Structure 1
């Protein structure tokens, strides 16, 4: 296996065309080479969105963690920068966050402002095989191009807790303090600091709330308005690690409640479980810090994989990708408040050609068929399902692969079936059919679907339900079929947009005629 530097040199010397790689996502971020998992250190500063991530630069499987680094001006096109942070005498660089220290509360910036990363240093307790996880700081005075470890690291530790990691920090203006949200095995702990260096315990949450089928990881906490009003709620996000006894593998849940700077209070019953994404491949999702107030969005991104099979997915020179960036909102539905999510509008800039239809009836004998020579698609579908028959949107390749996005009106169930989606035998859990309840509105369902070379993201009900799945077709997907199992359904409206690759210079419309599996 080449080193990171050798791999980078090889890519540069070979002039690798990412648009020709069989499973390389074309509008989702992926590392040029080697391993990626959790998003880290996402922060907006001086016109750039920073996306850092768990990265093993020596292998395509998980290993000694570094922070990889990419930046974007529009959340669409990404420039990969050199590795931001590498392991030092305190250990590997596990997950964490980054903030803008506008007021120089840390004293790192000589009265100015700059970026501070708060992350978990991971090693082993001396003379032991017990993992040790402690929180540390690094700072950057040059827009994230170089990082300096704080000489006082670590700044927070607890010898009584083994899983003690993944800090998410934000400035709470009304309290005049930094708040840290930390994953601690089976619960969340909150800490407070005036300077990012000295932390005091505030409270804990969650030992009896929500799902506990795996270790808790990668928390986030933020406030959102409800339906754009002045009424607000706090949202706490918690990811859950893989448990062999549960078919879903790793997954992410959320809570809605209140937070006063000290304590989070869940407004739902403790046994209520709210899933961020009902697909198999959206994990460790956290949001960007310091997006300008005039923008007003809370934007989140996740790791598009699952610990059940993350080290086994069938890519060669790289492994792991990020979901599309998504805008989070709160909405009132049926007397309760729910989280909604939709990809950022900037993604629409990738649209190339658009095709539209209205009032099309489909049956098993007369399906709707759209052929395409572009396997990058955005689909908007409004489907009348009052006939009570199951509707299928089939994404088919010229080979034997097909991924089905279906809706069962009787069960009010939206699903993805990837059992015949292409390469699935690398792990017995991958070939599956799974979904979530989606209630129709006025006898119809509305879907937004993004299809990339090795991923499909489905959003229903204006983002009330999301399903994110990896797929590995045997050949490029070249047709969209819509039909019913029996009876008929009507496509009230259907829009199919072909998308440009972010890797084509100037978003050229040149089609790729041959791909290689790398």
Structure 2
């Protein structure tokens, strides 16, 4: 396949020439953001899963680093997280170290021919040089349920109980399982959440974090879980719940079964997880992809792209707390941005095309009907199946933004991200036009 330079994003991370999917181990260390991710070091197709690595000073300009954790022939390195072990609770650090130890908690996916073959368990590795090199813990795995689909540990320090908390999934059971530890090596089961919300697809890549509620002195906890099918635009997606967490149990807010709420209503936002060690900010990155067609995208020599980083919090609305996501998009970011404030009873349509007027991508803000629409059905390669068509998102009723509905459309190579109502509504999609989408017309 010829190289597709016009589809290569400038501000969304892609690898040079390999496969990429879920973000892993997002962490800030001494002013540098680290993005680890699922990759195949041997090519641009899914397989031999390992942890790739990239770094950035601003979350926009990324430098790809050598592979961090590599498939060893009998064990694939599936998704997980990285924490900064400030107090050396794990004992992996040394008194002479100039910086705290980083600990990666990841899923060991054991190949059928290996010991524990066909199962998944949680393992550790550590770095004492800021994430450049890693040492695998010799007593791995540290948590084994004997399950074939127990994966994707997201770990964080819970200060009120002075303990580490892990959320992982029993994917086929559609459950988030919560574990606790004091040293990252020995874990005890604390609670289980689910099934709940969307259960059509397997659950993956959970996260649990506390965020402020804007305009108040309060906070609330958000639980995230991705689903492999049944997403809002077809295929995979990411759902979330708001509630409380006492260090043991996540309790969703409200009475009765919690409703399905989507982190992003577009077809291409999956496995979104947050950074560790960013005091005062909660930053998330997702994979801008969809398992329904991820292996068919026409990019070369790379396959797979990350979303922009998003700063998240909660906002009070008439429908209850809503998750607000605002892109980290400094002025120097080399992307096209299109903005409009639409009157509360009005409609505005943005049409993006190539210089020759081909491959239209259409974004419509219908404030009167309370809906945001993205139509990529005529924008270049269609791939067939669930890729084609129209994605819609309901606008948030009585959002505190005033008499207009604001919209920001970010276009960067093969990725389009739409933010409405100050980020209360988001919609992310991949597009594959024949040339760059350089012409923008509002009507």
Query: TM-score normalized by structure 1?
Result: 0.80
Question: Taking structure 1 as reference, are residues 396 and 385 closer, same or farther at Cα in structure 2, changes over 3 Å only?
Answer: farther
Cα contact 1:399–1:474 (8 A) shared by 2:
no
Q: Does 1:474 align with 2:434?
A: yes
Shift of 1:434: 1.3
What's the offset of the Cα at 1:263?
0.5
Matched with 2:411 is 451
Preserved contact between residue 384 and residue 445 of structure 1 (Cα < 8 Å): yes
- Distance change (3 Å), C-alpha of 1:58 and 1:125: closer
SS at match of 1:429: helix
Q: What do residues 57-81 of structure 1 show as CA deviations (whole Å, max 9, x unaligned)?
A: 1121211101000011111111111
Which of 128, 131, 147 is the equivalent residue of 1:144? 131
- Write the distance in 2 (CA, Å) between the matches of 1:123 and 1:162: 9
Aligned to 1:82: 66
Counterpart selection for 2:162 from 165, 176, 181:
176
> In the alignment, does 2:108 pair up with 1:121?
yes
The answer (yes or no) to whether the contact 2:232–2:267 under 8 Å persists in 1 is: no
**3-state DSSP of counterpart to 1:136:** strand
1:348 aligns with one of 331, 340, 355 = 331
Alpha-carbon separation, structure 1, partners of 2:202 and 2:218: 33
Is the contact between residue 341 and residue 405 of structure 2 (CA under 8 Å) also seen in structure 1?
Answer: yes
CA contact (8 A) 1:90 1:121 kept: no
CA change 1:267–1:273 in 2 (3 A) is same
Cα RMSD of the aligned pairs, angstroms, is: 2.1
Q: So what's the TM-score if we normalise by structure 2?
A: 0.93
- 1:224 is aligned to 2:211: yes
d(CA) in 1 for partners of 2:427, 2:232: 18
Q: Which whole-Å CA distance do the structure 1 matches of 2:73 and 2:160 have between them?
A: 37
- Note the 1:99-138 alignment, pairs <5 A: 99-111=83-95, 112=97, 113-124=100-111, 131-138=118-125
Q: Structure 1 residues 65, 127: closer, same or farther in 2, change over 3 A?
A: closer
- CA displacement at 1:84 relative to structure 2: 0.4
Of the three residues 252, 255, 260, the one matched with 1:266 is 252
1:316 aligns with 2:300: yes
Whether the 8 Å CA contact 1:218–1:239 is kept in 2: the answer is: yes
Q: Residue 237 in 1 paired to residue 224 in 2?
A: yes
Q: Which of 288, 305, 314 is the aligned partner of 1:304?
A: 288
| 1: CA distance, partners of 2:366 / 2:28 | 41
Q: What do the CA deviations read for 1:117-168 (whole angstroms, capped 9, x no partner)?
A: 0000002456999731010000011111111100010000111x32100000
Structure 2 distance, partners of 1:197, 1:262, is: 18
Unaligned runs of 5+ in 2: none
CA deviations on 1:174-199 (whole Å, 9 max, x unpaired) are 11110000111210000011110000
Q: Using the alignment, how far apart are the partners of 2:133 and 2:318 within structure 1?
A: 49
1:382 to 324, 331, 341: 341
Change (3 A) 1:246 1:143: closer
Secondary structure, counterpart of 1:51 in structure 2? strand
Structure 2 residue 195 is matched with structure 1 residue 211? no
Correspondences of 1:354-393 after superposition (within 5 Å) = 376-384=335-343, 386=345, 390-393=347-350
Is structure 2 residue 20 aligned with structure 1 residue 32? no
1: CA distance, partners of 2:242 / 2:26: 22
SS at match of 1:121: strand
How far apart are the structure 2 equivalents of 1:327 and 1:385? 26
- TM superposition shift of 1:101: 0.6
| Number of residue-to-residue matches in the alignment | 432
Aligned residue for 2:272, secondary structure, equals strand
Give, in whole Å, the separation in 1 of the partners of 2:127 and 2:20.
22
